[in-house]
Structure 1
Amino acid sequence: PLRLVSSVAGYLCTDGEQKVVGLEVNANHIRSVRSGRVRGVCRALHAGSRHQVWQIDILDEQDRLCCSSRLTTAVV
């Protein structure tokens, strides 16, 4: 889910024929989720013309942090 959330956000911040490609993913898995739903919260730390940095937090149904990750992309 984390790559999907941030990839869509990155795409929505581009213009015309630009594409977003991943450069680096860093993730810290805090707790597992065995059942139920999870929610991804994505926010831009940097949305430049050449690079983007996204913070993605995955939360369980009790709003407990399950995964905290960062994705760096290049805009080509």
Structure 2
Amino acid sequence: MSFDKEKALKMCNDFCKNTLMETLEITFTDAGEGFLEAKMPVNSRVHQPMGLLHGGATVALAESVGSAASLLFVNPEVTEVRGIEISANHLRAKRDGIVTGTARIIHQGRSLHLWEIKVTDEQGRLISLCKLTNMIMPRRR
């Protein structure tokens, strides 16, 4: 079975309606075997009081892209993805523009997925390095 990039992006973007991802204007922009990418604008909506990108907004981007990436490996009609641990190292400040979160699979087990998410600026400079563990479980009805 081949990977359908357009179908994957549509599914991920459709899941964002009426959620935090929509509020933060996170848009899924690229996908492939073992990775998913999303972009988020940096403006006053995601600033901390000093006018810089809030670490919490960065982590929200990272968890959003990593959790959505796990959905690409499971059947969301019968399986749920739950983020159970996330860590972030914030390395560079950002005041405006766009940040990109790219999740790459580190471990894909039946019940746990481990992702590395790099959040970068428009020049590809690393803003934050995050690690997300997702639990894969039967969907609750």
**TM-score scaled by structure 2?**
0.52
2:47 matches 1:10: no
Q: Which has the higher contact order (CA 8 A, sep 6+)?
A: 1
Distance 1:5 1:59 in 2: 13
* Aligned counterpart in structure 2 of residue 58 of structure 1, from 109, 119, 123: 119
* RMSD over aligned Cα atoms: 0.9
Query: 1:39 offset after TM fit, Å?
Result: 1.0
What one-letter code is carried by the residue in structure 1 that aligns with 2:74?
T
Runs of 4+ aligned structure 1 residues displaced above 2 Å come to none
Between Structure 1 and Structure 2, which shows a larger proportion of helix residues? 2
| Structure 2, unaligned runs of 5 or more | 1-60
Aligned residues: 76
Structure number, greater radius of gyration: 2
Distance 1:17 1:32 in 2: 40
Residue pairs, 1:11-50, within 5 angstroms: 11-15=71-75, 16-50=77-111
Distance 2:103 2:92 in 1: 18
Query: 1:29 offset after TM fit, Å?
Result: 0.4
State the secondary structure of the residue aligned to 1:8.
helix
How many percent identity over aligned positions? 36
Between Structure 1 and Structure 2, which shows a larger proportion of strand residues? 1
**TM-score scaled by structure 1?**
0.94
| Structure 1, unaligned runs of 5 or more | none
